[in-house]
Amino acid sequence: MVVFGSNVLLFSDKHCQFPQHSDLKVSWSRWYRRAIERSAKQLSGAEKFIKEYPSRVFLDKDCRARLPIALPDPRRARYFLLAVTRGSYETAERYWNGQSSGSLMLDSSIVAEDHYANPFRVGFPLENRRFVHVLDEMTVDVLLQELDTVPDLIGYLECKEEFLTQTGLHVSAAGEEQLLARYMCTLRDGKHALPKIPHGTGAVALVEGDWEFYSVSPQREAKRAADAGSYMWDDLIEYQSSFIRAGTATTVAGLTEQETDHERVVRALADETRFSRRQLAAHFRFALTQSQPGRKFARVVASADRANRAYVFLTAPKPSEVTYEEYRKMRSDTLLTYCTGVKLRIPDIVEAVGIASEPFSESVSSQDFVYVDLTEDLAAEHRERLSEMMKELEVLQSPLIKPIKGQDHEFPMPFNFETGPEFFSAHNGIPMNRAARRAMAKRARGKRR
């Protein structure tokens, strides 16, 4: 179980050996019942239980160690069910005679027991059509490697569910990886999306070859190269989390419990997509390169994903005349003033996260993390006192201070969407099998050439 804000992801992971029988449909139906049907029912049961009895979730089978995480309010919680079913890939690959990967096909026309007669095709395993994301040993790795932050993964799962549950539309895809490629190659209003289906369309097929097109594209290679620096942000999350898990995270004297809520800081850092992390890490890295004796440097930036969340990156060399403890106290006071004072300069900000450190030039370094909730307006008395402190510490004195919004692009080398991979639609709703889609994809590739 993954709890992330108002989202709860429930995973079931089974590895069932694919049975051997002269009739493939018999083998498939037996494997499907054990690997997919059983997983879907277990996930549905777990979801129902957690919603009805949130206080009865434990970490151990003896039910003594309660879940140490508060579950989201059921009225706004969003549950995702993911069944990882291993064991079918090699058999499926042989079934397609090497002309396709062995990933499970997606077909929204198949429900419950209809699966028994449709080898290696998955639609809605549950009779009530509760959506279950069925992944195999290949696609679970592809999905989690391509979408390696929780916000990115949730964004895809939401979009996929909406796409495959459109009323009156039969959707099929040659595999999860093909759907993922289409999602990554399609941008709408700056966000990843799946194709808009023309009104009146009865069926749509995402053809074979989209993943092959995307996975080796120079655009994806350029994106991965640009993302390399973003993993500095992941290191910050892991660094701070290690102290929380070990119970050794310290609080700088003078700060309130809310301002040093270690877990809340980590949650905010983790609530950034890979693209946003790329930009934030670049800003933090720039701040670390700024070093002038006796002078601090601060950069205030807005999250690319959350426009009302501000980050403050503060670096300050340690003066030789003060102890390290005194230096940390002065630095944390300044950081807190920045994170609170940003509300006076940018009223729309509702939360601020601050990270302070020595610059790269220093031989010793440590980091301070601060989280400030700015959802409520500051009282007049507090605003006056804060303004005086900002003047004293020379914090945010420019009247034109604005968050720095990155001008970067997720794909440094953009796709030409007019000549990219295609999808096929039909107005009569006739379903297309894998062979038909391969033939159409081949014709499309020839046309593009």
Give one DSSP letter per residue of 170-200, joined into a string.
EEEES-HHHHHHHHHH-EETTEE--PPPPTT
Measured CA angle at 39 (ends 38, 45), to 5 deg: 90
Task: Determine the residue type at 179.
Answer: L
What tokens were used for 203?
């069926």
The answer for residues whose C-beta is within 8 angstroms of residue 211's C-beta and 6 or more apart is 101, 142, 175, 177, 178, 180, 181
Distance CA 164, CA 155 (A): 15
Please state whether 161 falls in left (phi above 0), alpha (psi between -120 and 50) or beta: alpha
The list of the chain residues with pLDDT below 50 reads 258-260, 400-401, 417-421, 428-432, 448-449
- Give burial (CB, 10 Å; 0-12/13-18/19+) of 245: exposed
pLDDT at 429: 45
Could you tell me if 374 and 349 are in contact, meaning their C-beta atoms sit under 8 angstroms apart?
yes
User: What is residue 235's three-state secondary structure?
Assistant: helix
Between CA 216 and CA 246 the distance in angstroms is: 41
Q: Are 299 and 283 in contact (CB under 8 A)?
A: yes
Q: How far is CA 29 from CA 88, 140, 260, 297, in A?
A: 12, 22, 54, 64
Q: Is 76 exposed, middle or buried (0-12, 13-18, 19+ CB in 10 A)?
A: exposed
How far is residue 417's CA from residue 192's CA, in Å, rounded to a whole number? Answer: 13
CA distance 203 to 323: 71
- Residue 111: both structure tokens together: 């429900």
> How far is Cα 430 from Cα 78, in angstroms, rounded to an integer?
33
- CA angle 11-14-17, nearest 5°? 160
Q: What does the chain come to in residues?
A: 449
What is the rounded CA–CA span in Å between residue 274 and residue 190? 14
What pLDDT does residue 421 have?
46
CA distance 209 to 218: 16
At residue 11, the pLDDT reads 97
